[in-house]
């Protein structure tokens, strides 16, 4: 009896050891992500006096002041010139940042706000008509996008309708994190820079979405990536499922084969 108990304990120990070996890369990956996403805490004024003139880092992930949308490549606009339908129409902004305007030629609108674009079109048309009345409507916002990936209901690319997009709005657009699979406390914002480097900031999405902590509602720039990683438990269960699934598949095939043979024998012997 004691021998059987010892054998069972030994078998359970082997199973636990096997799971630990299989899941070690998962825990290591989680630790690496935590280290990468770690943000240095600001030093207090007592430890290090703050200089009076501090330049704002344009690449920092933070809450921004409101910025009006600026036109860019692939945006589509409607231009309406009152009493002059020949100058009115729908125009895409090309990869060169210009629209092809009838009777006038190409007009550079890249980087302009809607109001600035109106003034520029007025200035061009004033050479052809007296006191032009111009109105511009942005029909499609295509030049500025953010990406939400990982454990959300609808990962993908989402258009921005302003110069910045709060991270909470981006996650809501992706239909919220997936229940019981997303590690909400370990979400990160990744900002690619022109020099090839990246800025990474960790965000406690649980506190932001469900506790209403708007201090964490950082503003995204075009090209930013919001990543919600999987929980360690979900990763472990996925690995175990991949291991166990072939065993059950093989057993199912084995049973199906013998069930078929048995049905064949019953059919052949139905008149005996």
Q: What is the DSSP string of 140-208?
A: E--S-EEEEEESBSS-EEEE-SSS-EEHHHHHHHTT-BPTTTB-GGGEEEEEE-TTS-EEEEEE-HHHH
What CATH class does 76-140 carry? alpha beta
Q: Is the pLDDT of residue 60 over 80?
A: yes
Phi and psi at residue 115, to the nearest 5°: -65, -35
Residue with more model confidence, 182 or 244: 182
CATH for 1-38+60-66+144-242 is 3.10.560.10
| pLDDT for 31 | 47
Residue with more model confidence, 252 or 80: 80
- Share the mean pLDDT of the chain: 79
| pLDDT for 106 | 95
| pLDDT for 6 | 47
pTM metric for this prediction: 0.66
3-state SS, residue 15 = helix
- Kindly indicate the confidence band of residue 231, based on its pLDDT and cuts at 50, 70 and 90: confident
Q: Is the pLDDT of residue 68 over 80?
A: yes
Give the number of other Cβ atoms within 10 Å of residue 61's Cβ. Answer: 22
Q: Is the pLDDT of residue 204 over 70?
A: yes
Phi and psi at residue 216, to the nearest 5°: -90, 0
Q: Is the pLDDT of residue 12 over 80?
A: no
- Kindly indicate the confidence band of residue 267, based on its pLDDT and cuts at 50, 70 and 90: low
Residue with more model confidence, 241 or 129: 129
Q: Give CA–CA dist 74/269, Å, rounded.
A: 73
Percentage, residues of the chain above pLDDT 90? 55
| pLDDT for 186 | 93
Task: Write down the domain spans for the chain.
Answer: 1-38+60-66+144-242, 76-140
- Kindly indicate the confidence band of residue 180, based on its pLDDT and cuts at 50, 70 and 90: confident
C-beta of residue 79 within 8 angstroms of C-beta of residue 119:
no
- Kindly indicate the confidence band of residue 50, based on its pLDDT and cuts at 50, 70 and 90: very low
Average pLDDT, integer, range 173-188:
91
């Amino acid at each position: 009896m004691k021998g059987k108990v010892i054998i069972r304990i030994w078998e359970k120990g082997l199973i636990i050891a096997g799971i630990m070996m299989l899941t070690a890369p998962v825990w290591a990956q989680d630790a690496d992500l935590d280290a990468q996403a770690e943000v240095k805490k600001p030093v207090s004024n007592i430890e290090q006096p703050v200089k009076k003139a501090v330049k704002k880092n344009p690449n920092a992930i933070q809450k921004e002041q409101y910025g009006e949308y600026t036109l860019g490549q692939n945006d589509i606009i409607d231009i309406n010139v009152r009493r002059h339908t020949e100058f009115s129409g729908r125009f895409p902004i090309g990869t060169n940042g210009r629209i092809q305007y009838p009777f006038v030629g190409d007009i550079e609108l890249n980087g302009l706000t809607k109001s600035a674009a109106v003034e520029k079109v007025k200035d061009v048309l004033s050479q052809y008509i007296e006191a032009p009345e111009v109105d511009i409507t942005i029909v499609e916002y295509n030049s500025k996008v953010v990406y939400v990936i990982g454990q959300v209901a609808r990962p993908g690319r989402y258009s921005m309708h302003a110069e910045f997009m709060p991270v909470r709005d981006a996650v809501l657009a992706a239909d919220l994190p997936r229940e019981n699979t997303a590690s909400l406390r370990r979400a990160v914002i990744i900002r690619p820079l022109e020099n090839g480097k990246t800025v990474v900031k960790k965000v406690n999405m649980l506190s932001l979405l469900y506790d209403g902590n708007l201090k964490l509602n950082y503003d995204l720039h075009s090209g930013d990536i919001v990543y919600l990683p999987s929980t360690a438990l979900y990763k472990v269960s996925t690995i175990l499922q991949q291991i166990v699934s072939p065993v059950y598949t093989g057993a199912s095939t084995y049973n199906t084969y013998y069930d078929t043979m048995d049905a064949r024998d019953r059919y052949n012997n139905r008149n005996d």
